[in-house]
Chain A
Amino acid sequence: MRRNLLAALGLVVLAGLACLAYLQSGKPRLVARAQGPISALAGEPGLGVAWLEATPSGDRLMLARRWRTPRLLLAGRGLTALALAEGRAFVAQRESAGGGHLLRLLPHIRKPDTLATLKGEVPQMVAGDGQIAWLEERPAALPAVPFVAAAGPVTVIRSVPQQSGAISIVEVLPAESAPTPRSSAAEGRVRLLGIAGQRVYWLEHRHKLLDTETCLISCPAAGGPATLVASEPGFQQALLLRDALVWTAYSQEASPSESHRSIKRQPLTGGAPQVIADWLAKDAVPIGDADRVYTQDPELLWRLEARRGEQRVLYSRAYGAFSAHVIGDDEYLVIGERKSWSITERPLTYWARLRHLLSG
């Protein structure tokens, strides 16, 4: 009788917890309030989430381990790009005289070590497969002379092993230096997607007279010939998963096709790309982690069911976000409103919600 009572009590407690978890679904949790604009955010499920915030007294690299109070990892001026990998943080620091350093930090050791010397501004950095790759923007050799292509600014993609080693030049690209918005067609805006299979993946937006072309390109991290993976008309976005590339494209069903977006997926091993979603808003952006794909537009976060070819609304947002990131089972939103900057965390799966509930 007593054992039955205990079992029933356990049952009630579990049911209560589950109901609470369900009721709490969709409620974001505040991770941190920043002291200034947040310029970069990166995460690793095992390590937590880290970000760069610009404060009046300088830039700060902050780390929030799961369920713990955020703490300062590094303070200094000119922190511009960030990546987390294998329990380490990698950050680019610009020197006032030009150039800078790529720093590597272990969270429990405050003193960083220098992994590479930088020769330009670093707007973005990615990590994966034991490598770090970054964009390095180098200025024009002949500034203010617009028609000298050979002396123009370049964007360099470089990489280095996370454990340190030789620095490789992955690719050198003409930088965005168009004197008018529609000139300089070959010059593209470059965004790194990630590293997989010892290859660096990036996308290039190439401006044309009436439209933009988006090219997905990969190249060995140690340097070598680049491969065009796919190209799409229009300004598109892409995401590198563990085993596939996912990108937006003009809708195949809408008319006009530019009015909506579809999502295509192509395995890294090759093969024809498959459309896994269609009729998305035209500003939809794929975000996700290694395995799952979500798309966001200003109002909604969708989860794509790649196998079923369906898309479902996870929730709708009532406020604007500067950027969204999916790390593990959680979505992180960077929000900036009236000199107030914060990072919120929202569980995206049932287990993540239960974990949030249990962690308080």
Chain B
Amino acid sequence: MPAWIAVVGILLTLAVVELGYWRGLMSKPKALPRPPKGAEGGPPEAAAPPAGQPGVTVLTLAGRPEAGYQNGPAGEARFNGPAGVALGPDRAVYIADSRNNCIRKLSPDGSVSTLAGGPARGALGDFADGVAAAARFSGPSAVAIAPDGALLVCDTGNHRLRRVARDGMVSTYAGGDTERDDLGRPTGGWRDGPAAQAQFRYPVGLVVDSAGAVYVADAGNHRVRRVSPAGQVTTLATVGNEEMGAPTELALTSSGQLWVADTAGGALWFGPREGPLQRWQPAKEEKPLKAPAGLAAAGNVLYLVDAGDHCLLRLRDGRLSLVAGSREPQGSGYADGYGNLALFSSPAGLAIGRDGDLYLADFGNNCLRQIKVEPGLQ
């Protein structure tokens, strides 16, 4: 008799405790306050393009700030970190779409297509020569047109220069194999000599002269290199060192001067195309450059992009002037419009068209921008 009393008692006790426990759980939570509709959480509306001073107009030619990979009409196309831009003889614009590991083409009819390569998942690109779709790149960051109309590409992650022929066949223009790290990434190297055996380390910019010589910003080696039309690679000059500075973009003026942007060092270098280079000094009253990146020359006028100040500048007769964007702190963003009311985000590659219009790879905004400069202001 006592045993069953104890069992019943224990069960009863447990039931009482559990009931209390569940009662606590069953208590209905306070209703969470609902915010007024539209008061929060919704995406902010995109700002309308601002009006400003005329003369220089910035437009988005293809893509939009949302990154992605999509071909089609320019407005629907998506890029991912466009870093370099070049204008072809066919009036097409070629874009080094660095994070999509491919070269894109904006045709004169306004459609975007993939010329060579294709996106790869993760941070590692790949390497393969071959027909356009089968070719593979690793973070291409600059493009230029060779005298024969072929496209030369800085295949930065593969430490090579690549050539895309007009028929779409991709081959290696300069740069050989190098060692690989534990992730399988080639580490690059520094070796002059025949193009096939030469070594580069993160080449990020290039320019081609009328004779077909290619000047390369070999950023990882802190050197400017030259690939002769005969295929010999030589070292022209040193820019920066392991601690500070590296060449990142190049331009040749009509007087034959070679200009070199040093993004990390916040400097511009110039000199004869055979070297040596000297550092360009802005006037004392001028705001110093923060992170010069893309360069393009129109005659002896140099246009340059300051990726740190998110703006486009012009260097004429030794004086800097603002063309588009803002040099104010917090001046990055995305806005089309007139001159200094337009906004960029880490702009990178720059090219200039025959009509004087500028084409800018807006890296941070994942799009291609066009800067129309009225003839009187060019």
**Complex formed: what's the CA distance from A3 to B365 in Å?**
84
Complex alpha-carbon distance, A10 and B6, angstroms: 8
Q: Which chain A positions have C-beta within 8 A of B125?
A: 150
Query: Could you tell me if B345 and A182 are in contact, using CB atoms closer than 8 angstroms?
Result: yes
Q: List CB contacts (< 8 Å) of A251-273 with chain B.
A: 254-260
Interface segment, A52-60, A136-144, A192-200, A286-294?
A: A136-144
Nearest 7 Cβ contacts at the A-B interface: A150-B139, A185-B67, A150-B157, A183-B364, A258-B41, A11-B9, A144-B264
Among candidates B64, B264, B346, residue contacting A142 with C-beta atoms closer than 8 Å: B264
Check B139 against A22 for contact (C-beta < 8 Å). Answer: no
- Residues of B near A350 (CB, < 8 A) are 17-18, 21
Most chain B CB within 10 A, of A143, A226, A259, is at: A259
Contact A141–B66 (Cβ < 8 Å): no
For the A-B complex, the count of residue pairs with Cβ-Cβ distances under 8 Å equals: 203
CB distance from A280 to the nearest CB of B (A): 8
Answer yes or no: A32 CB below 8 A from chain B CBs: no
- Chain A contact residues, CB within 8 Å of chain B: 3-4, 6-8, 10-11, 14-15, 18-19, 21-22, 25, 119, 141-152, 154, 156, 169, 171-175, 178-180, 182-186, 208-211, 226, 254-260, 279-282, 300, 302-303, 311-314, 350
A-B contact pairs, 22 of them (CB 8 A): A10-B9, A11-B13, A143-B264, A144-B264, A147-B263, A147-B346, A148-B83, A148-B202, A148-B219, A150-B141, A156-B183, A173-B122, A174-B99, A179-B332, A179-B346, A179-B364, A183-B364, A183-B366, A186-B81, A256-B40, A279-B32, A281-B32
Q: Quick one: which of B117-172 are within 8 Å of A by CB?
A: 121-125, 138-141, 156-158
Question: Quick one: closest A residue to B138, CB to CB?
Answer: A150
A185, A226, A279 interface centre (most CB from chain B within 10 Å):
A185
The reply to whether A259 and B363 form a contact with Cβ atoms under 8 Å apart is no
Report A-chain residues with C-beta under 8 Å of the C-beta of B202. 141-142, 148, 150-151
Given contacts A19-B17, A151-B219, A154-B183, 13 further A-B contacts (CB under 8 A): A11-B5, A145-B204, A147-B348, A149-B83, A149-B141, A150-B138, A150-B140, A174-B123, A185-B68, A186-B99, A254-B34, A255-B37, A259-B40
Least CB distance from A295 to B in Å reads 12
When C-beta atoms are compared, the residue in chain B nearest to A169 turns out to be B183
Count residues on chain B whose CB falls below 8 Å from chain A CBs.
Answer: 76
Complex formed: what's the CA distance from A144 to B34 in Å? 45
Give the chain A neighbours of B10 by CB distance below 8 A. Answer: 11, 14
Residues of B close to A144: CB separation below 8 A = 263-264, 291
B-chain residues with CB within 8 Å of residue A169 when the two chains form the complex: 182-184
Contact status A147-B363, CB under 8 Å: yes
Contact assessment for B43 and A211 in the assembled complex, using a CB-CB cutoff below 8 Å: yes
B338 at the interface (CB under 8 A from A): no
Residue of A nearest to B184 (CB): A169
Interface flags, B73-94, vs A, CB<8A=1, else 0: 0000000110100000000000
The chain B residue sitting closest to A155, CB to CB, is B123
A258 CB to closest chain B CB (Å) equals: 3
Instruction: Check: B267 CB closer than 8 A to any chain A CB.
Output: no
Chain B interface residues toward A at CB < 8 A: 1-3, 5-6, 9-10, 13-14, 16-18, 20-21, 24-27, 29, 32, 34-35, 37-38, 40-44, 46, 64-68, 80-81, 83, 98-99, 121-125, 138-141, 156-158, 182-184, 202, 204, 219-220, 246, 248, 263-264, 291, 293, 307, 332-334, 345-346, 348, 363-366
> Closest B-chain residue to A183, C-beta based?
B364
A303 in contact with B42 (CB, 8 Å) = no
Decide: B67 and A208 in contact? CB cutoff 8 A: yes
User: Which of these, A18, A148, A208, contacts B204 with CB under 8 Å?
Assistant: A148
Most buried by B among A4, A144, A171: A144
Query: Which residue of B has the minimal Cβ distance to A313?
Result: B29
Determine the chain A residues whose CB is within 8 A of the CB of B21 once the complex forms. Answer: 22, 25, 350
How far apart are the CA atoms of A61 and B219 in the complex, in Å? Answer: 42
- Taking a contact as CB atoms under 8 Å apart, the answer to whether A312 and B25 are in contact is yes
Q: Which of A148, A185, A282 contacts B141 (CB 8 A)?
A: A148
Q: How far is the CA of A145 from the CA of B1 in the complex (A)?
A: 86
Asked if residues A150 and B346 are in contact (CB atoms below 8 Å), the reply is no
- Cα-based distance from A119 to B42 in the complex (angstroms): 41
Expressed in whole angstroms, the Cα–Cα distance for A300 and B29 within the complex equals 10
Residue of A nearest to B139 (CB): A150
Q: Tell me whether A6 and B183 are in contact (CB under 8 A).
A: no
